[in-house]
Amino acid sequence: MMKRTYIGERCTVARALEVVGERWTLLIVRDGLLGVTRFEEFHDALGIPRNVLTARLNLLVEHDVLDRVPYQARPVRYEYLLTAKGRGLAPVVRALLEWGDEHYSDDLPEPPTKVVHAGCGGRVLSRTVCENCHRPLASSDITAVRVTGG
Amino acid sequence: MMKRTYIGERCTVARALEVVGERWTLLIVRDGLLGVTRFEEFHDALGIPRNVLTARLNLLVEHDVLDRVPYQARPVRYEYLLTAKGRGLAPVVRALLEWGDEHYSDDLPEPPTKVVHAGCGGRVLSRTVCENCHRPLASSDITAVRVTGG
């Protein structure tokens, strides 16, 4: 059985969720990946209360997921650009999109967002392979091992 | 620019986050993937307040992420088993783990959880490939397209 201290202190899923484990936060990241950068654009796109949006943007800047960059001098105005760390959340958003498409698109003629290869427009497929034996892996082939000596 | 109605009503990322877009919820799913099934085990592992845990487990049962199954008759006691839909969240948790390992494990001798191929113990690698041209894709090769006619 996992111990509370283990989970709270060392699990990097839990640490990651301290930053992004809240609905609005990942939607802000999703919009950032779609090219949204300005406060008013996030506000219009998400319909999020302004004070909540301010708090979430500040949190994401503090955790180096977004960079706050001036785009206008007088009066000074800022936009929010994903950092490399923030762009690193793309696989999380993509995995959520795939799960959402599978389970929450029955009422839609087709899933509303396609993730494609920018070069040729082909659909992007997620694959898992074994580093050791190079086999393609299904979910049932995959297990998690806790490193207790670490 | 995305419209609010678009985001709120049709985006399947947003719909998915209605179910799992909260810190505890994905940690419950993570623990389910690690084999945790009983209320007291989730409670001990997560250190989550009992009323919050009850609410989250009920939400996940309601949304068919968990099955509530009796394991004892007198008194009746239940355990919570991931459904196929729930197990489908494994790639989301794995993507979060990879991001967490990259950015939140500096103080650890090594990341505390390894995701491995059950068959040979090899590390599991996530790969994205193009369905059309079969190339392996980096993040910078991938873009999202909104299907407006859908």
- Digit-coded pLDDT (tens) for A9-30: 678 888 898 888 888 999 999 9
The whole-model pTM stands at: 0.89
Of A95, A117, A147, the CB nearest to B141: A117
What pLDDT is stored for residue B6 in this prediction? 44
Interface test with B, best of A1, A5, A6, A11 (most B CBs within 10 A): A11
- Torsion sign, CA atoms B135, B137, B141, B143: positive
Residue B79 has pLDDT above 80, yes or no: yes
- Reported as a pLDDT band with limits 50, 70 and 90, residue B52 is very high
pLDDT digits (tens, 9 = 90+) for A64-80: 999 999 999 999 999 99
Contact indicator for A140, B82 with CB cutoff of 8 Å: no
Contact indicator for B23, A26 with CB cutoff of 8 Å: no
Burial bucket for residue B90 (CB in 10 Å: 0-12, 13-18, 19+):
buried
- Torsion sign, CA atoms A43, A49, A53, A54: positive
Contact indicator for B92, A98 with CB cutoff of 8 Å: no
Residues of A in contact with B123 (CB under 8 A): 130-132
What pLDDT is stored for residue A126 in this prediction? 86
pLDDT digits (tens, 9 = 90+) for B30-45: 999 989 999 999 999 8
Contact A4 B33 (CB under 8 A): no
* Separation CA B49–CA A117 (nearest Å): 44
Correct CATH for B4-141 of 1.10.10.10, 3.30.70.260, 3.40.1160.10, 1.10.620.20: 1.10.10.10
Q: Token match 């105005």: residue?
A: A77
Give the minimum alpha-carbon distance from B81 to chain A in angstroms, rounded to a whole number.
15
The pLDDT > 70 percentage for chain B reads 92
- Region A30-46: mean pLDDT is 93
Residue A112 has pLDDT above 80, yes or no: yes
